[in-house]
Amino acid sequence: MFVIGGGSGGVRAARVAAGYGAKVMLAEEYRLGGTCVIRGCVPKKLFVYAGRFRGTFDEATEFGWHLPVPRFDWPSLVAAKDREIARLEGLYGAGQERAGVEVVRSRAVLDDAHTVRLLQDGRRVRARTILIATGARPALPPFEGIELGITSDDVFDMKTFPRKLVIGGAGYIAMEFAGLFAALGSDVTVVCRGSNVLRGFDEDVRQAMAGSYTNRGIKLMFCDSICRLKRRDGDVGDGDDAGRIDVTTEQGGRLVADQVLLAFGRAPNTNSLGLDRARVKTAPDGGIIVDANSRTNIENIYAVGDVSNQFNLTPVAIREGQAFADTVFGKKAWQVDYSNIPTAVFSSPEIGAVGMTELEARAQYLAVDVYKVRFRPLKAAVTGDCEASLLKVVVDSESDRILGIHIFAHEASELIQVLAIAIGSGATIKDFMSVMAVHPTVGEGIVGMRTPTVRYDRRYAAAPLVSSAAV
């Protein structure tokens, strides 16, 4: 087997296949670990941790701690991140070596359905089975001066900390970086084409995050988009703005930034991969078309992870790589279940979500109960923080089965991981009500819901049953 791409899905598939006795070669043109480890999930969360210390220092005073004035040093954070990423990359390499996978540091392209060409030395390798796991790349719409912006691939390695940061986009990447850079001390402005942040998430959660970010001083420019970037040339009179970037928006907005982060989403990384030579079919968005077993239209060629542009999450890529290797080389056939995939946005507070949004449930089910509560965390009793957290449960009224859970609160990511088990097991709201609460916790709000906030029944008008309460 030949694996093109050394990210999460590719290395899992390679290691497992080798464990079944397959002769495996893997080519990676950059660094082992892929987007998640090298320039995505892992460094992002390290930076999120760094940003949260600022609020913790402020809150500590209210709890009786008297600290010297803290000072943030950007180069120290970048260096600490680099050490951890290097360590993880080493572990990935060692894991492949122990499994017997031959790793080649080169870009690889397809010459035909069974031949891979290594661009580093021109070598051609024949393989019975080929797995494409090249992930995704930042998607960039064309506009004047776009070369002055950076993407999430570059943001972790900036030499200087941006005092003024403009972000284009309002999805996962944009909102996570907006929150963490604001927490680190940046003046952040988000320019968003839509009318709200985080398209695809539950509406109450989207509104909660937009309100939270606005209260924290992050400026949100909705129904607008960046259309031009221009570097200031440092003329006399520019003062501190010399060398900064002028940002122009389609609605005539004028902003000045030290750095512009372009976070308009990601596209399947299939350019110049030789898919046409191997006759592998792709969708209009460039994603490789696969069946439920990750097989392309060419019998011996498979694809896993973001390159197929289905569910672009690291755990999904890993699960797909495992299923592929078990099925093809381990003779243990199984398929990935894409229902009820939990997800998190590492903002502060965090978002955790699993299952259907309220609108999705109301479109599919005849009657839907919505349980919803807004509350202030216990810590706020001392710190005086007025920001409200949100717990929301969407239920099929007829079966009582929980269809979705949506959380905007601290540690929402940890909560949603465990709650996803219950959702996947078909838990009902009565199952949740039967569980003894742990007090005082955020989670007790989930098991403490007794009456729906509102019921939507397509046979009747929506009926509010109780008002949203604080706990």
Hey, which residues are catalytic here?
439
| CA distance linking residue 237 with residue 256, whole number of Å | 15
Q: In angstroms, how far is the first alpha carbon of the chain from the final one?
A: 56
Nearest to 171 by CA among 156, 191, 154: 191
Half-sphere exposure of 229 (CA within 13 A, CB side): 24
Sign of CA dihedral 145, 146, 148, 149: positive
CA atoms within 13 A on the CB side of 257: 26
The region that residue 409 occupies, defined by phi over 0 for left and psi between -120 and 50 for alpha, beta otherwise, is beta
Gyration radius (Cα) of the chain, Å: 24
3-state helix, strand, coil in the chain (%, to 5): 35, 25, 45
Residue type, 1: M
Q: Which of 196, 346, 181, 349 is nearest to 260 (CA)?
A: 181
Taking phi over 0 as left and psi of -120 to 50 as alpha, with beta for the rest, 353 belongs to: beta
Buried b (16+ CB within 10 A) or exposed e, 310-349: bbbbbebbbbbbbbbbbbbbbeeeeebeeebbbbbbbbbb
Q: How far apart are CA 253 and CA 193, in angstroms?
A: 13
Q: How many CB atoms lie within 10 A of CB 459?
A: 6
Q: What is the DSSP string of 339-356?
A: TT--EEE-SSSEEEEEE-
Q: Give the span between the Cα atoms of 113 and 279, in whole angstroms.
A: 8
